[in-house]
Amino acid sequence: MKRNLLAALALGFVLAFRGLATAQAPDPLPSWNDGKAKQSIVAFVAKVTKKGSPDFVSPAERIATFDNDGTLWAEQPMYFQLLFALDRVKALAPQHPEWKDKEPFASLLKGDVTNALAGGEHAMVEIVMATHAGMTTEDFEQVVKDWIATARHPVTKRPYTEMVYQPMLEVLTFLRANGFKTFIVSGGGVEFMRPWTERVYGIPPEQVVGSSVKMRFEMRDGAPLLVRLPEVHFVDDKEGKPVGIQEHIGRRPIAVFGNSDGDLQMLQWATAGRRLRFALYVHHTDATREWAYDRNSNIGRLHKGLDEAQAKGWTVVDMKQDWKVIFPIEKR
C-alpha cells in the first residue's frame, strides 16, 4: 500500500516534469511587438548564455547598465527629480523667508518655473543644493520615500512609480533570469533613486550609480551621522557615465540601455569592449501614448546618439511601433 502510494507520487512527478520540459516557454517580452528591436534583445541573450558558443559570457561578466530618466521611466514635461526639488522648495519655504526675494526661489514660489529656470544650470544647481543637502542621509531618504509615495505626475496624475516603461521592466526581468546583474547608471541623484528602485525595478541600492553630493561623517550626541553637504561630489552624466561605471562597477557592461545623448559615452564605452556587446536606444516616438521628442528637445535630447546608433547598428526602439503597451496601467 505504502509502496503503491510512493510509486504514484513518483509517476506523477515524472509526468509533471515531462510536461514542463515540452511546454512552450512563455514569451519573456510580451509587451514588445515582434520586430527587429525585440529580436535583437532575444538573440543577444541567447548567444551570450549558450555554453560552448564563441559569444558565451560567464555569469559574473553579465553586467547590464540602464539609464533611468527616459529609459526606465518618463522624463517629461521635465525630469521627475526636478519636480521633486520644486515641491521641496514649497515645503521648505516657511523655513527660508529670504527666498521671497532671492532667485531662483522667488520665481518658483510665485509658480513661475520658466523664469526660475532662466538662470540655466546655475539656477538648477542652486535649487538642487537647497533641497537635497543640509540634512542627514536618513532624513533625506525619508523625504524621498514620502514624496514618491504621495506625489502625482502633473499631466497623468498618476504616481511617478507608475510612469515606468512596462517593456523595459520585462527586459530587466529577462536579463536577470539569464544571470545578468542589472545596474542603473543615471545622471539623477543616487540617493533620490535608491529608496524605490528595488521595489519598482528589482534593482537594489548597491546597483544604483548616479550623481552625488559630498557627505561628512560626524558624531552627534554619541551617534554617528552622515550629513549631505551642498557641494557636488560626482556628476554621472555624459563623460561621467563611463567614469561612474568604472568607479562603481569596475567592469565594462556587455549590455547598455539609454535614450539620449547623455548616454552616448556609456554606449560607446560598453560597445568598445572585446567580444559581443549590445547597445539599445529608446527613441521617444509616441506623442499619443507618451511623448515624441529627439533631436531638438531640451530634455533627453537624442541627436548625435541617433546618428551614431544608425552608423554602428545599435538597436533603436521606436516606442510607437515596438511597444504594445508603454505604462504598466495599460496592461490591466
User: Total number of residues binding a copy of itself (CB under 8 A)?
Assistant: 45
The answer to whether residue 3 forms part of the interface with a copy of itself (CB under 8 A) is yes
The answer to whether residue 10 forms part of the interface with a copy of itself (CB under 8 A) is yes
- Build a one-symbol-per-residue string for 200-239: x at contacts with a copy of itself by CB under 8 A, - elsewhere: ----xxxxx---x--xxx-x---xx-x------x-----x
The answer to whether residue 268 forms part of the interface with a copy of itself (CB under 8 A) is yes
The answer to whether residue 251 forms part of the interface with a copy of itself (CB under 8 A) is yes
- Smaller CB separation from a copy of itself, 228 or 301: 228
Give the per-residue SS3 of the chain.
CHHHHHHHHHHHHHHHHHHHHHCCCCCCCCCECCCHHHHHHHHHHHHHHCCCCCCCCCHHHCEEEECCECCCECCCCCCHHHHHHHHHHHHHHHHCHHHHHCCCHHHHHCCCHHHHHHHHHHHHHHHHHHHHCCCEHHHHHHHHHHHHHHCECCCCCCEHHHCECHHHHHHHHHHHHCCCEEEEEEEEEHHHHHHHHHHHHCCCHHHEEEEEEEEEEEEECCEEEEEEEEEEEECCCCCHHHHHHHHHCCCCCCEEEECCHHHHHHHHHHHCCCCCCEEEEEECECCCCCCECCCCCCCCCCCHHHHHHHHHCCEEEEHHHHECCCCHHHHC
Candidates 130, 190, 279, 317; binder of a copy of itself (CB under 8 A) is 190
- Smaller CB separation from a copy of itself, 25 or 219: 219
Taking the complex as a whole, the smallest distance from the CB of residue 284 to a copy of itself amounts, in Å, to 25
- Build a one-symbol-per-residue string for 40-79: x at contacts with a copy of itself by CB under 8 A, - elsewhere: --------------------x--x----------------
User: Which residues here bind a copy of itself, judged by CB under 8 A?
Assistant: 3-4, 6-7, 9-11, 14, 60, 63, 137, 181, 183, 190-191, 194, 198, 204-208, 212, 215-217, 219, 223-224, 226, 233, 239-240, 242-243, 246-251, 265, 268-269, 272
